[in-house]
Amino acid sequence: MQYAQDLLKTLYTMAMLVEARDAYTGGHLWRVSRFSYLLAEDLDLPKAEVEKIALGGFLHDLGKVGVPDAILNKPDKLSDAEYEVIKTHPQIGAELLRDHPLAELVMDAVLKHHETPDGKGYPQGLQGEQIPLVARIVGLTDAFDAMTSTRPYRQGMSLEQALAIVQDHLGSQFDRVLGERFIKLGQAGHLNNIISHSEPGIPLQHCAACGPIIVIPRAVADGAELFCPGCASAYRLSRQGGRLALSPVGYTNPAKARRPRADAGLISDLLHEFGQELLVSRKPSLLGRLFG
């Protein structure tokens, strides 16, 4: 069992490599994973299936490690040729994973999260229920997080605006049944502690110029300096009675601002939360294979 857990840890660590490449989207993987977990739980799926969907949410963009920085981090609209490069990331992810002993747990999420019910997605142009459930869930929650996240060059949408867009694209870009349930979760307030957060209870903090895009790693001490990943401005963290606040220090440091976080604490928590049933339920198929 310990060996299987260690393997699962390698998957989470691989996913973190993607976030290290793209500092602007701090917390995206955690949020997609958490939204996906909520939606899967709402469908009353078995616990092991819910955990598998949460894991798929965390891993879905693995293949983006193979997309060049100039395209991955480009703030302007992509050219057709650049978009073709972006569209290779599901297959790159699938190839990177193929021989990993736990690949079967996340392959559908990685390879098929950009398929859409109308058949206009990629890479295969699958339609409707040809698209595995995990990929339909992650496709929806990934798009929702992109809509509600602020980037240095644009403000994130409100919950209501993003849910209205989901509503408008039911049956075409988003699975109708899943989309309707997700809208209900949003209207009931269940998404509020995930939107604009990077971990449970840790909201993204505001840069005066770029908006709420600064991730606060949980291990950072009171008084530490943090940097906006957009404009590289320095801020000093204060933890006043558990509440986080940043005050500007008055200089910029692009090298420190670009430095990715390596959040070992988050990975341990995810393993604890999303790893137990998942691995146990794979006995004897998975564990039997691992232990021969």
Query: What's the CA dihedral at 29, 33, 39, 40 to 10 degrees?
Result: 150
User: Which stretch in 58-66, 67-75, 219-227, 249-257 sits in contact with Fe ion by CB under 5 A?
Assistant: 58-66
Q: What angle do CA 123, 126, 130 make, to 5 degrees?
A: 135
Q: Say how far residue 89 (Cα) sits from the centre of its chain.
A: 15
Supply the minimum distance, in Å, between the C-beta of residue 228 and Fe ion: 25
At 54, phi and psi to the nearest 5? -65, -40
Closer to Fe ion by Cβ: residue 143 or 207: 143
Supply the minimum distance, in Å, between the C-beta of residue 113 and Fe ion: 6
3-state helix, strand, coil in the chain (%, to 5): 55, 15, 35
Residue with tokens 């509440």: 243
Supply the minimum distance, in Å, between the C-beta of residue 64 and Fe ion: 7
Supply the minimum distance, in Å, between the C-beta of residue 65 and Fe ion: 12
Find the residue with minimal CB distance to Fe ion. Answer: 61
61 binds Fe ion per the rule CB under 5 A:
yes
Residue of 152, 154, 153, 174 lying closest to 164 (CA atoms): 174
Supply the minimum distance, in Å, between the C-beta of residue 89 and Fe ion: 6
Supply the minimum distance, in Å, between the C-beta of residue 114 and Fe ion: 6
Q: What string marks each residue from 72 to 111 as x (binds Fe ion by CB under 5 A) or -?
A: ----------------------------------------
Continuous segment of H or E residues that includes residue 290: helix 285-291
Q: How many chain residues interact with Fe ion (CB under 5 A)?
A: 1
User: Which stretch in 30-38, 56-64, 77-85, 173-181 sits in contact with Fe ion by CB under 5 A?
Assistant: 56-64
Residue of 52, 203, 188 lying closest to 133 (CA atoms): 52
User: Which stretch in 10-18, 23-31, 61-69, 265-273 sits in contact with Fe ion by CB under 5 A?
Assistant: 61-69
Point out which residues bind Fe ion (CB under 5 A). 61
